[in-house]
Structure 1
Amino acid sequence: MGKVFDFMHPEHLAFIAKQHIFFVGSAPLDGEGHVNLSPKGHDVLRLLSANEVAYLDLTGSGNETSAHLEENGRITLMFMAVEGPPMILRLYGKGRVVLPGTPEWETLAPQFTMLPGARQIIAIQVEVVKTSCGFSVPYFSYEGERPTLQQWAVQKGEEGLVAYRQEKNTLSMDGLVTTIGQKLSTNTL
């Protein structure tokens, strides 16, 4: 049932492009910290090549993925069919955080529609692609995106978002420093 690939084949790219939700998993190295699993919606994922993906990361109440990527780079993205034929597809790789104002941001940002609250881009070099059956995943129908996060970001405004990130997005729940936290400590954000 499960198959492993070195890169995303055209059928994988087509499957990913149809999904309205994906999940991001990361964890600290020590085995004692918390494993993080975050759902992502909106049109934030870009397929850059057969071994590269990136997503626009919106401001949220935590920034665990950034802290874990700073510590060890490990990341997994999971997609699952909730309509049509069953399938689960996972991308395993090494990720990095790309902040606004950096040369890499200037390269990647034009690939995205900048949504309110955009705080960073997570770029991933895909090392392994794994598919599995997805036979137990139930059917769901897509009704649309929730506007709540973007409305919240607009209401906060840019200054409010910067203050919120300083308060909530500089450390992981395990005390690991995020990329935003590192940038703040050098007074360049």
Structure 2
Amino acid sequence: MAKQFPQIDEAHRKFIEEQHIFFTGSAGPEGRVNISPKGMDSLRVIGPNRIVWMNITGSGNETAGHLLESDRMTLMWCSFTTRPLILRCYGNARTLHIGDAGWDELAALFPAHRSARQIFDMSVDRVQTSCGYAVPFMDYRSERDTMQKWVDAKSDEDIRAYWVEKNQKTIDGKPTGVPV
């Protein structure tokens, strides 16, 4: 049975920190809803109602575009190991880019990454847990090194050029606000 909470408690934080993957959901007022898997060491719970996550360059940039139109965001974790559990955090988020006020402070929470594209700063207004009984068991093997190899083969200018080519618009053609 689903349970709802007004904030992230210590058990929720511990569960979040144990997971190797999380999913982010966002949508503008019109167009497609986006759900993306995220990994790496890219998320921090920094208070009972605040989560930040660093967005690394990828093939799309939907969340940033959606947040320009509607600041709603959902994050979800599910256990693939021992205890079946799904945890969702609902709230509103803002996007920070390199050079924005607050970027340096939040970026310092994460390992340095040359292709860090944004940081999303989420204010959580509801936490919900549910059973997760239908989530399969899966074993974690390791992080992929594909992203790091891609970054290592690029100059900073190459990464920015990729942003211009691939990350300026959502799949619905809306701007994402990524600086170039």
TM over 0.5: yes
The secondary structure found in structure 1 opposite 2:117 is strand
Question: Distance in 1 between the 2:83 and 2:5 partners?
Answer: 20
2:75 and 2:88 in contact (8 A); partners too: yes
Which position in structure 1 is the counterpart of 2:98? 100
The secondary structure found in structure 1 opposite 2:153 is helix
Which position in structure 2 is the counterpart of 1:133? 131
The secondary structure found in structure 2 opposite 1:160 is helix
Which position in structure 1 is the counterpart of 2:148? 150
**In the alignment, residue 110 of structure 1 is paired with which amino acid?**
A
- CA-to-partner distance for each residue in 1:83-113, whole Å, 9 max, x for gaps? 1110000011111111011221022111111
Question: Distance in 2 between the 1:121 and 1:20 partners?
Answer: 19
**In the alignment, residue 131 of structure 2 is paired with which amino acid?**
C
Question: Distance in 1 between the 2:101 and 2:29 partners?
Answer: 29
Write out the 4+ residue segments of structure 1 that deviate beyond 4 Å after TM superposition.
none
Which position in structure 1 is the counterpart of 2:19? 19
1:46 and 1:55 in contact (8 A); partners too: yes
Question: Distance in 2 between the 1:66 and 1:93 partners?
Answer: 15
The secondary structure found in structure 2 opposite 1:161 is helix
Which position in structure 2 is the counterpart of 1:85? 83
Q: Which deviates further from its counterpart, 108-117 or 83-92?
A: 108-117
* TM-score, length of structure 1 as denominator length: 0.92
1:115 shift after superposition: 2.2
Q: How does 1:34-73 map to 2 (within 5 A)?
A: 34-73=32-71
Question: Distance in 2 between the 1:72 and 1:28 partners?
Answer: 5
1:117 and 1:150 in contact (8 A); partners too: no
1:116 shift after superposition: 3.7
- CA-to-partner distance for each residue in 1:96-141, whole Å, 9 max, x for gaps? 1110112210221111111242111111111110100000001111
1:25 and 1:36 in contact (8 A); partners too: yes
* TM-score, length of structure 2 as denominator length: 0.97
Query: Which of the pair is proportionally richer in helix?
Result: 1
Which position in structure 2 is the counterpart of 1:159? 157
Alignment RMSD, CA only?
1.0
Q: How many residues align?
A: 180
The secondary structure found in structure 1 opposite 2:58 is coil
Q: Which deviates further from its counterpart, 151-160 or 78-87?
A: 151-160
1:48 shift after superposition: 0.7
Runs of at least 5 residues in structure 1 that lack an aligned partner in the other structure: 184-188
Question: Distance in 2 between the 1:116 and 1:136 partners?
Answer: 38
Q: Which deviates further from its counterpart, 115-124 or 137-146?
A: 115-124
